[in-house]
Chain A
Amino acid sequence: MTTHSILLSGFGGQGILFAGKLLAYMGLIMDKNVSWLPSYGPEMRGGTANCNVIISDDTIGSPIINNPSTLICMNKPSFNKFVPMVEKNGLVVLDSSLIDIKGERGDINFVEIPATQIATDNQHPKLANMVMLGRTLKELNLGDESVVISALKKTIPNRKIEMLEVNKKAILAGYNFT
């Protein structure tokens, strides 16, 4: 029985909630129990945004993540705020294009990826969230390509379906980053 408690955090506009929704849909497609809980309110307008995604074999109790098993971190304020909360042996995936701090905790695994740089190099700077997600999926060994594609189909509105391919590419760029 495994439970992934994934906290995604960054600035409003980085696609934090969307990346969370994609993760939740992946869980749903894999027949897991899932929950997705956003931060809401005035802080959404350009401030920090975060989102709690739980993917579990068990029924999900509280949708609020107090101690994430995985932290996907896309700005400095959330790095400082959330790293201390990550559970022991947990994972932190951080966008090293935006966060120049080194993680000091020895009991968790820090994975750095210059996601914003990679996304910019691929002509889609706003898809850093997908690059981050790809890297996380690899680290967690979660889902496979077909699951990712099905989840993208569920989350990308029909009128934007042409965006599926570039999103997939961005996820793969993150997944294959070494």
Chain B
Amino acid sequence: MSDKVLMKGNEAAAEAAIRAGCRYFFGYPITPQTEVSAYMAKKMPKIDGVFLQAESEVAAINMVFGAAGAGARAMTSTSSPGFSLKQEGVSYIAGADLPCVILDVVRAGPGLGGIQAAQSDYFQVTKGGGHGDYRLIVLAPSTVQEMATFTALAFDLADKYRNPALVLSDGILGQMMEPIDFDDVEAGFDPSKIRDFSDKPWATTGTNCKRGQNLIKSINTNPVELEQENIERYAKYAEVEKNEKRCETIGVENADVLFVAYGTSARICKNTIELLKKERVTAKLFRPITLWPFPDDALKLAAKNVKAVVVVEMSHGQMIEDVRLNIQDKPIYFSGRSGGMIPLPADIAKVAIDAVSVIKNDGSNTYEGGRE
């Protein structure tokens, strides 16, 4: 037996953050992510770290702003309604070019919605959500192991690009237990540097009267200068797009159907692919791992020889817009459930079978737009 332990996704993410050098966690209770706070509350005081339960999600993200600006690896976690509240702070953090990590364990909406798992935060995490021109680096785990690995990776990417990074989970990934091996959690962080801020010379650590002022801010009322700041930030985003697109393709090369799904939906698609084998329909899965930057070229390649594309989401279709932007010459179908309902492999399989049979009847695979 390996050294693997069984852990909930929420706890695995929390432990990985600690291993990645995070000693400042600011939380606020909301189901289904509260285990993250509970884990941090238990561990942080024992390792000279800080767990603080804030008065609101708004306060928590602004505490992250302060701690990140002060040079530390800082984190907060929440679920969908809480992330809506954090959007203000996220925009300020992006505008001040601060690195930090946010975990969003998505639940069904809109409004207070329900506490069961969903993927309906895709828009608000990948398309900004807060005000202004900015981007979040978004990683979408689909296993408990990835909850850990991607949380640690998020810290590295955040520091590398001085940009907030978000781990997009859901209620199922947060609550489920799977074996996890922390040796596989690559944290590019030297534990001896936890309170050494020398590699962040911009941080507000006090001038010690030996250097000029360090200033963390997003305000600039000079349009010429503010536009220039935005241009420079977009040059940074171009670098991120060049270097950090991540994805996974699973299944036979020459499949008829391409599923596009992330996180829990991607796992359900794997079952669907097995189900379709019995129906003699070949299918493969394209799983975006970074939702921003979206792995567009890899998607185009994966879709090259398929007859139809089926996007599967636990929502009414959000990522499908990015799929449509990248695939114009194939019919694109959608199969999804919302409100905390989970797509059934049989229902998804039916959409795939229908898609393939429509094409066979048409005798072509090149019609405009497709349908949902």
Provide the residues of chain B in CB contact with A66, threshold 8 Å.
344-346
Among A35, A37, A61: residue with most chain B CB under 10 A: A61
Give 1 or 0 for each of B20-45: 1 = CB within 8 Å of chain A CB.
Answer: 00000000000110000000000000
Q: What would 14 more interface pairs be, CB under 8 Å, given A33-B179, A154-B6?
A: A25-B6, A31-B2, A35-B176, A35-B177, A36-B178, A61-B267, A61-B269, A61-B270, A62-B267, A63-B267, A64-B268, A66-B344, A66-B345, A154-B5
A173 at the interface (CB under 8 A from B): no
In the complex, whether B264 has a CB less than 8 A from a CB of chain A is: yes
- Sample (10) of A-B pairs whose CB atoms are under 8 Å apart: A24-B177, A28-B6, A31-B1, A36-B177, A37-B175, A38-B175, A61-B267, A61-B268, A62-B345, A66-B346
Main DSSP-derived SS at the A contact region: mixed
Cβ–Cβ contact B177 & A59, under 8 A: no
- B86 → A minimal CB distance (Å): 22
Write the A16-56 contact mask toward B (1 if CB under 8 angstroms, else 0). 00000100110011010111111011000000000000000
- Interface band, chain A: 20 to 34
Binding site for B on A (CB under 8 A): 21, 24-25, 28-29, 31, 33-38, 40-41, 59-64, 66, 150, 154
B271 adjacent to A61 (CB under 8 Å): yes
Judging by beta carbons under 8 Å apart, are B179 and A28 in contact?
A: yes
Residue of A nearest to B174 (CB): A40
* Chain A nearest CB, measured from B210 CB (Å): 50
CB distance from B182 to the nearest CB of A (A): 15
CB pair A40–B175 under 8 Å, yes or no, is: yes
Judge whether B342 and A64 touch: CB under 8 Å. Answer: yes
The answer for the CA separation of A39 and B21 in the assembled complex, in Å, is 32
Please measure, in the bound complex, the distance between the C-alpha atom of A33 and the C-alpha atom of B271, giving whole angstroms: 15
Contacts A59-B270, A61-B274 given; does A37 touch B1 at CB 8 Å: no
Can you list, as one digit per residue, whether each of B168-180 has a CB less than 8 Å from chain A (1) or not (0)?
0001100111110
Known contacts A29-B1, A40-B31: does B274 contact A63 (CB below 8 Å)?
Answer: no
Contact of A36 with B172 in the complex, beta carbons under 8 Å: no
Q: Please name all residues of chain A whose beta carbon is closer than 8 Å to the beta carbon of B345 when the two chains form the complex.
A: 62, 66
Query: How far is it, in angstroms, between the C-alpha of A96 and the C-alpha of B176 when the chains are bound?
Result: 29
Which residues on the A side are within 8 Å of B54 (C-beta)? none
B176 nearest CB across to chain A (Å) = 4
What's the Cα separation between A21 and B345 when bound, in Å? 25
Size of the B side of the interface (Cβ < 8 Å), in residues, is 27
Is the C-beta of B254 less than 8 angstroms from some C-beta in chain A?
A: no
B194 within 8 A of A: no
When distances are taken between beta carbons in the complex, the residues of chain B under 8 Å from A28 are 1, 4, 6, 179
Q: Does residue B115 face the partner (Cβ distance < 8 Å to A)?
A: yes
A62 touching B4, Cβ below 8 Å:
no
Decide if A63 touches B172 in the complex (CB within 8 Å): yes
Query: B116 on the interface (CB 8 Å rule)?
Result: yes
Name which of B171, B172, B269 has the most chain A CB atoms within 10 A of its CB.
B172
In the complex, A136 Cα to B264 Cα: how many Å? 29
How many angstroms from the CA of A31 to the CA of B2 in the assembled complex?
A: 8
Most chain A beta-carbon neighbours within 10 Å: one of B171, B270, B274: B270
Contact of B274 with A36 in the complex, beta carbons under 8 Å: no
Inter-subunit contact B31/A34 (CB<8 Å): no
Looking at the assembled complex, report how far the CB atom of A153 sits from the nearest CB atom of chain B, in whole angstroms: 12
User: Assuming the A-B contacts A28-B1, A28-B4, A40-B32, are A62 and B179 also in contact, with contact meaning beta carbons closer than 8 angstroms in the complex?
Assistant: no
Bound-complex Cα distance A150 to B1 (A): 11
Q: Which residues of B contact A59 (CB under 8 A)?
A: 270
Known: A35-B176, A63-B267. A41 touches B115 (CB 8 A): yes
Which residues from chain B contact A38 at a C-beta distance below 8 Å?
175-176
Is B268 a contact partner of A21 (Cβ separation < 8 A)? no
- Nearest Cβ distance between residue A48 and chain B, in whole angstroms? 15
CB distance from B36 to the nearest CB of A (A): 14
Of A29, A31, A62, A154, most buried by chain B (CB within 10 Å of CB) is: A62
Of A36, A40, A41, A62, which contacts B6 at CB under 8 A? A36
Question: Within the complex, what minimum Cβ distance (angstroms) separates A134 from chain B?
Answer: 20
Docked Cα-Cα span, A86 to B79, in Å, equals 33
Residues of B within 8 A of A37 (CB): 172, 175-177
- Contact A21 B177, CB 8 Å, known A41-B31, A61-B271, A63-B267: yes
